[in-house]
């Protein structure tokens, strides 16, 4: 059996190898790599000016990067001058600022992109950080940094800033040539026009004579000046017979401690006695502040110069009054 296997292997080994024939088909020669590189080098692409050129909102991201860079440089400058970080009491003592930024529509025109709420909040957050740094720079004696930050912040402030800040402020009451003040008070549907003038003090010459008079000389009588409150040409006790209404009218004088110091003439219209007395008290409080501005803070805390916005609730259809219902009868 082994002899057969050996002969078989010899026969297999004698099989001639197949000869390989060269391919006679011709192919087009490929272009050299150098020529292709030269063709590509002939068309250079321009380098974009902005690193966010290939984003969908290049202007928006450029502005955000500009604000972040300004925040970083300002923070490092303030840290070098030992103005950051500030303790809580120092930060609370900084002068208050009320920023009025552009709204979303104006910001969209500024950034040349759609301004969503998220993007608008991100921008305003950066601007608030910058205005905090401006407050610190002004207080800490760094005018150059404050001027640069002010130039950046003015680009994003609304054009209606002055009107917005003056919206909550009252116009100052101007005294006329006789020292009278004119104010207007309101409550419910009542209104009161109030004129106030200080009570004239005694003549100075009489005071000098009283001081220099002889011991045996008769005393000099001074004219007693009493303050009067006329409401529609009637005294206060006649126009308001109820003590609660009169107390409401004289309360501003008692709070300020100037009872009997001013003469008041008022014209009231509309509403009832409660509304008219409250409107008169409102006008008197504003007049006292006009004569003595130092009392404004105290009157504001006492809510005397505050216009009470409460009104009578309207009657509803199907009800007896604003909320009262008719008696329900089963049969």
Mean pLDDT of 82-93: 87
Six-digit token string for 311: 């009104």
- Element containing residue 147 per DSSP (H, E): helix 143-153
Q: Give the model's pLDDT for residue 96.
A: 81
More confident position, 72 or 209:
72
Asked whether the whole model's pTM tops 0.75, one would answer no
pLDDT at 134 > cutoff 70: yes
Tens digit of each residue's pLDDT (9 = 90 or more) over 252-281: 999 999 998 999 999 999 999 999 999 999
User: Strands (DSSP E) along the chain, which ranges?
Assistant: 181-187, 190-198, 229-231, 234-235, 262-269
Residue with tokens 């004579």: 209
Tens digit of each residue's pLDDT (9 = 90 or more) over 18-76: 554 454 555 555 556 666 666 555 667 788 888 888 888 888 999 999 999 999 999 99
pLDDT at 169 > cutoff 90: no
Residue with tokens 């089963």: 330
Buried b (16+ CB within 10 A) or exposed e, 130-160: bbbbbbbbbebebeebbebbbebbeebeeee
Centroid of chain to Cα 64:
23
Tens digit of each residue's pLDDT (9 = 90 or more) over 177-201: 999 999 999 999 999 999 999 987 7
């Amino acid at each position: 059996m082994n002899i057969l296997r050996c002969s078989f292997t010899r026969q297999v080994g004698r099989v001639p190898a197949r000869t390989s024939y060269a391919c006679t088909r011709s192919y087009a020669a490929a272009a050299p790599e150098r020529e292709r590189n030269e063709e590509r080098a002939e068309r250079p692409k321009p380098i974009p000016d902005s690193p966010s050129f290939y984003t969908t909102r290049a202007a928006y991201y450029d502005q955000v990067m500009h604000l972040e860079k300004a925040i970083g440089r300002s923070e490092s400058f303030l840290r070098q001058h030992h103005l950051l970080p500030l303790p809580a009491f120092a930060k609370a003592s900084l002068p208050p600022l009320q920023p009025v930024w552009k709204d979303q529509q104006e910001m969209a025109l500024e950034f040349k992109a759609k301004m969503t709420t998220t993007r608008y909040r991100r921008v305003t957050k950066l601007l608030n950080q910058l205005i905090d740094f401006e407050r610190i720079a002004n207080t800490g004696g760094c005018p150059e940094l404050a001027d640069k930050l002010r130039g950046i912040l003015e680009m994003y402030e609304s054009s209606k800033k002055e009107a917005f800040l003056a919206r909550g402020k009252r116009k100052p009451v101007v005294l006329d040539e006789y020292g009278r003040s004119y104010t207007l008070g309101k409550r419910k549907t009542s209104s009161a026009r109030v004129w106030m003038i200080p009570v004239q003090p005694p003549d100075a010459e009489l005071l000098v004579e009283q001081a220099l008079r002889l011991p045996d000389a008769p005393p000099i009588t001074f004219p007693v000046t009493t303050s009067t409150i006329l409401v529609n040409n009637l005294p206060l006790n006649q126009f308001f017979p109820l003590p609660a209404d009169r107390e409401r009218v004289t309360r501003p004088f008692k709070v300020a401690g100037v009872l009997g110091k001013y003469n008041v003439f008022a014209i009231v219209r509309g509403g009832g006695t409660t509304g008219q007395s409250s409107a008169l008290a409102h006008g008197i409080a504003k007049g006292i502040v006009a004569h003595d501005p130092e009392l404004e803070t105290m009157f504001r805390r006492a809510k005397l110069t505050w216009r009470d916005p409460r009104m009578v609730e309207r009657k509803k259809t199907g009800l007896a009054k604003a909320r009262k219902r008719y008696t329900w009868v089963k049969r």
